[in-house]
């Protein structure tokens, strides 16, 4: 049971490598390597221009925001596959309500739609103990269908300029609003995860639910709250889509769930629960955005991009095997 000290024969390098937590740092290494790779090969295509770099941040903002909430879900040993569809649904509900009833009702309606779906997900998982994979898989279809249905598949333009300014279209001084949203989400997520007892309870429930329950943590409530939040945050992401693209559409966010989950896993959060790395998640999202951007600049078509993204997701899951 004694924790064996490193043998004297080993070099300090092997010792360092053995001690370095490869799993939780792999994302930073990958990010830097890919960044350098693109900087060299795609420098001429404008990869390094400020505009392009800000674009990467802008385009990944919705992913980053959802990924922060997803980090809590996965750290809790659950999964939420419905985030992309919820974003789409929230974008159309917000767009319709803003147009018909004004800014504030629109924002509230958007968030409410996410809260409603998150609450249903959470209740089914926490109290009826349906696996979150199944619940949210069903919800993925349900929310997407609902969004398409209420709009008759038609885009819902947003003309309210205040809304567009706040939710992703505008800037705060020289800083793009979407960057601000990302920073807000990451900062909040980091503090909650690392510095509040709520974050501890999430990690404890994910790390060993029995132990958490014996310690007096109401694990069902924690599970519920995590999925509820994920729904609300997904709705917020949908509203950011709506602001950036000045319309609500059922397609917004479609397929994002996989990118979001890949970002979280790449970032070092354990798929088995108990560990949640918010900063890693941010870099995971940025990495996904970086890859997207690079592939487009390199002139790959949509099909080829999909293949490469798929490969990255598989690599992410393979890496997550080793806790």
Partner 1 sequence: MTQHAATSQPVPTVRMRNVVKSFGPVQVLKSVDLDIYAGEVHALAGENGAGKSTLMKILQGVYPITSGSIEVDGHETIIRSANDAEDAGIGMVFQEFSLIPSMTVAQNISLNRERRSRLGLIDDRAAILEATRIFDDLGVSLDPKSNVGGLGTAYWQLVEIAKALSRNAKVLVMDEPTASLARHEVENLFSLIERLKARGIAIVYISHRMDEIRRIADRITVLRDGRVVLSDVLGDLTPPQIIEAIIGRRLASDLVYRDRGHDADAPIVLSATGIASEHVLESVDMTVRAGEIVGLAGLMGSGRTEFARVLYGMDKATRGELRIDGEVVTFSNPRAAQRAGMALIPEDRREQGLVLDHSVSDNLVLPVIDTLRVGPLVSPKKARGLTQQLIREYSVKADDPNAPIRLLSGGNQQKVVVAKWINRAPRVLVMDEPTAGVDIGTKTEILELVREYATAGNSVVFISSELPELLAVSDRIVILRAGRTYREIKRAEVESEEQLQLIIQGVAA
Our finding on whether 23 is near partner 1 (CB under 8 A) is no
Could you say which of 20, 134, 211, 314 contacts partner 1 (CB under 8 A)?
A: 211
Angle (CA) 85-90-93 rounded to 5° is 130
Q: How far is the CB of 205 from partner 1 (least distance, A)?
A: 9
Q: What is the CA radius of gyration of the chain?
A: 20
Q: Which is nearer to partner 1, 168 or 273 (CB)?
A: 273
Q: Which is nearer to partner 1, 171 or 196 (CB)?
A: 196
Residues numbered 243-272 forming contacts with partner 1, rule: CB under 8 A: 270
Pick from 312, 318, 275: nearest CA to 291: 312
Task: Measure the CA–CA gap between 226 and 73, rounded to whole angstroms.
Answer: 6
- Part in contact with partner 1 (CB under 8 A); list of ranges 34-42, 111-119, 130-138, 196-204: 196-204
Pick from 274, 281, 128, 121: nearest CA to 202: 274
- Which tokens hold the place of 81? 């596959």
CA count, 13 A, side-chain hemisphere, 174: 2
- Which tokens hold the place of 157? 């333009």
DSSP β-bridge partners for residue 248: 156
Could you say which of 123, 165, 200, 296 contacts partner 1 (CB under 8 A)?
A: 200
Q: How far is the CB of 279 from partner 1 (least distance, A)?
A: 17
Could you say which of 88, 176, 274, 280 contacts partner 1 (CB under 8 A)?
A: 274
Our finding on whether 11 is near partner 1 (CB under 8 A) is no
Q: How far apart are the first and last CA of the chain?
A: 20
CA count, 13 A, side-chain hemisphere, 20: 11
Our finding on whether 242 is near partner 1 (CB under 8 A) is no
Our finding on whether 196 is near partner 1 (CB under 8 A) is yes
* Backbone angles phi and psi of 127, in degrees to 5: -105, -35
Q: Which is nearer to partner 1, 219 or 293 (CB)?
A: 219
Helices and strands per DSSP (H, E), number in the chain? 14, 4
Pairing label, strands 175-176, 171-172: antiparallel
How many residues at the interface with partner 1, by CB under 8 A? Answer: 27
Q: Which is nearer to partner 1, 199 or 253 (CB)?
A: 199
Q: How far is the CB of 24 from partner 1 (least distance, A)?
A: 11
Q: Which is nearer to partner 1, 273 or 289 (CB)?
A: 273
Q: How far is the CB of 176 from partner 1 (least distance, A)?
A: 29
How many Å separate Cα 79 from the centre of its chain? Answer: 12
CB atoms within 10 A of CB 181: 23
Could you say which of 63, 89, 204, 288 contacts partner 1 (CB under 8 A)?
A: 204
Pick from 122, 93, 118: nearest CA to 106: 93
DSSP β-bridge partners for residue 31: none
Q: Which is nearer to partner 1, 76 or 94 (CB)?
A: 76
Q: How far is the CB of 76 from partner 1 (least distance, A)?
A: 12
Could you say which of 128, 210, 299, 302 contacts partner 1 (CB under 8 A)?
A: 210
Give the residues lining the site for partner 1 (CB under 8 A). Answer: 1-4, 191, 194-197, 199-201, 203-204, 207-208, 210-217, 270, 274-275
């Amino acid at each position: 049971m004694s924790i064996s000290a490193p043998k004297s024969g080993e070099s300090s390098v092997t010792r360092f490598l053995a001690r370095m937590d490869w799993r939780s740092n792999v994302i930073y290494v990958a990010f830097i390597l890919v960044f350098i790779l693109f900087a060299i090969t795609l420098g001429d295509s404008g990869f390094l221009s400020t505009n392009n770099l800000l674009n990467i941040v802008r385009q990944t903002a919705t992913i980053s925001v959802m990924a922060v909430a997803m980090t809590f879900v996965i750290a809790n040993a659950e999964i939420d596959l419905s985030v992309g569809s919820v974003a789409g649904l929230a974008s159309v509900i917000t767009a319709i309500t803003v147009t018909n009833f004004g800014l504030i009702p629109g924002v509230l309606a958007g968030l409410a739609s996410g809260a409603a779906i998150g609450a249903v997900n959470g209740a089914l998982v926490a109290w009826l103990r349906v696996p979150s994979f199944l619940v949210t898989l069903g919800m993925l279809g349900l929310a997407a269908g609902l969004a398409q249905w209420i709009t008759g598949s038609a885009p819902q333009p947003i003309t309210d300029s205040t809304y567009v300014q706040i939710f992703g279209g505008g800037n705060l001084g020289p800083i793009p609003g979407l960057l601000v949203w990302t920073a807000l989400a990451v900062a909040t997520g980091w503090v909650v995860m690392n510095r509040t007892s709520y974050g501890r309870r999430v990690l404890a429930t994910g790390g060993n639910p029995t132990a958490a329950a014996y310690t007096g943590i109401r694990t069902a409530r924690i599970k519920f709250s995590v999925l509820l939040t994920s729904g609300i945050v997904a709705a917020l992401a949908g509203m950011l889509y709506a602001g950036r693209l000045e319309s609500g559409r059922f397609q917004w966010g479609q397929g994002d769930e996989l990118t979001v989950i890949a970002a979280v896993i790449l970032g070092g959060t354990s798929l088995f629960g108990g560990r949640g790395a918010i900063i890693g998640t941010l870099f995971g999202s940025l990495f996904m955005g970086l890859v997207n951007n690079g592939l487009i600049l390199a002139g790959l078509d949509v099909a080829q991009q999909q293949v490469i993204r798929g490969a990255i997701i598989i690599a992410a899951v393979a890496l997550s095997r080793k806790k």
